[in-house]
Amino acid sequence: MKIRIDKLLSNLGYGTRSEVHKYIKNGYVLINGEILKDQGFRVDTETDIVVFDDEIVEYQEYFYFMLNKPAGYISAVQGQEPVVMDLIEEKIKGLFPCGRLDKDTTGLLLITNDGPLTHQLLSPRYEVEKEYEVNTRDLIDQDQIRRIEQGITMADGTRYRPAKITGIEGNLCNIVVTEGQYHEVKNMFLAVGNEVVHLKRIRMKDLILDDSLQEGEYRPLTEEEIHSLKTYWKAGHPAE
Ligand code: URA
């Protein structure tokens, strides 16, 4: 791929375009060992070696981070209230949260700039599993489980696909859903006369929340994690 040097460096978070122009002017950028003079130089990301301030620039189109979302943050890029992107130090252009967790929901949130993958992970068509730990106000009983596992239709006509509930212990359980509708887990429990008091996402597809991450912490995904997010789709292989 060929891309202008100023666009490449600013996409990777080295600064705004005009800051990058200054760095180039001041000799911070080398291409294949030579100090770059031409601000409009087009880098071949497959063959050119770019050095910024004595360090090789690793070109990457897409970035993936696993965030353990704390309560109190909105799943958005910017807003009036604290947003999850405030927690991400890397200033890579185009990063956004893949999907939405409610402000008071904690746990696994993928942060990426990979639009096509995000679309696939969030599309109900691919039935991507999302697993949550649920803590409810009242004890969870067999009738509530049966109704949630059959699929819920709310009074306003909203329908939720059958969910799978496991690990029931008093007020706690795990639930696996395959949609991603607004407030879906909370609404399902409300519909059966209970109420969610805490919700934590622990898995999305094969991606499991790293329990060494404290709330508010994040880390890049491993190659294996990225690979498994991109392979096997229930409704077949989406277009690459
Ligand atoms: N379901 C909810 O009700 N809230 C979330 O944040 C995620 C799933």
Domain ranges of the chain: 2-56, 64-124+205-238, 129-204
The secondary element (H helix, E strand) that includes residue 7 is helix 5-11
Quick one: pLDDT at residue 91?
A: 84
Quick one: pLDDT at residue 239?
A: 45
CB 176 within 8 A of CB 131: yes
Quick one: pLDDT at residue 240?
A: 42
Angle between helices 184-191 and 142-150 (to 10 degrees): 130
Angle between helices 223-230 and 115-122 (to 10 degrees): 60
> Which is the catalytic residue, given 48, 86, 102, 206?
102
Span from the CA of 170 to the centroid of ligand 1 (angstroms): 20
Partners of 33 in beta bridges = none
64-124+205-238, what's its fold? Alpha-Beta Plaits (3.30.70)
Q: What is the pLDDT of residues 107-131, one digit of tens each?
A: 999 999 999 999 999 998 889 999 9
pTM recorded for the entire structure: 0.89
Residues in the chain with pLDDT values less than 50 = 239-240
129-204 belongs to CATH 3.20.20.70: no
| Phi-psi sector, 33: left (phi>0), alpha (psi -120 to 50), beta | left
Amino acid present at 38: D
CB 221 within 8 A of CB 207: yes
Distance of alpha carbon 9 from alpha carbon 192, whole angstroms: 52
Span from the CA of 130 to the centroid of ligand 1 (angstroms): 10
Residue nearest to atom 2 of ligand 1 (CA): 183
Quick one: pLDDT at residue 190?
A: 96
Distance of alpha carbon 214 from alpha carbon 194, whole angstroms: 29
Ligand 1 atom closest to the Cα of residue 180 is 8
DSSP letter for each residue of 151-215: -EE-TTS-EE---EEEEEETTEEEEEES---TTHHHHHHHHTT--EEEEEEEEETTEE--TTSPT
Quick one: pLDDT at residue 33?
A: 95
Span from the CA of 183 to the centroid of ligand 1 (angstroms): 4
CB 109 within 8 A of CB 204: no
Distance of alpha carbon 225 from alpha carbon 208, whole angstroms: 9
| Residue from 102, 189, 204 to probe ligand 1 pocket by mutation (most atoms less than 8 Å from CB) | 102
Span from the CA of 104 to the centroid of ligand 1 (angstroms): 9
Neighbours of 79 (CB within 10 A): 12
Is 102 annotated as catalytic? yes
Distance of alpha carbon 20 from alpha carbon 28, whole angstroms: 9
Report CA dihedral (114, 11, 110, 158) to the nearest 10 degrees. -60
Q: What is the pLDDT of residues 162-181, one digit of tens each?
A: 999 999 999 999 999 999 89
Q: Residue 138 has which token pair?
A: 């009242």
2-56 and 64-124+205-238: identical CATH topology: no
CATH number of 2-56: 3.10.290.10
The secondary element (H helix, E strand) that includes residue 133 is strand 130-136
Is the CB of residue 177 below 6 angstroms from any atom belonging to ligand 1?
A: no
CB 135 within 8 A of CB 196: yes
Quick one: pLDDT at residue 236?
A: 58
The secondary element (H helix, E strand) that includes residue 220 is strand 218-220
Ligand 1 atom closest to the Cα of residue 188 is 3
Quick one: pLDDT at residue 159?
A: 95
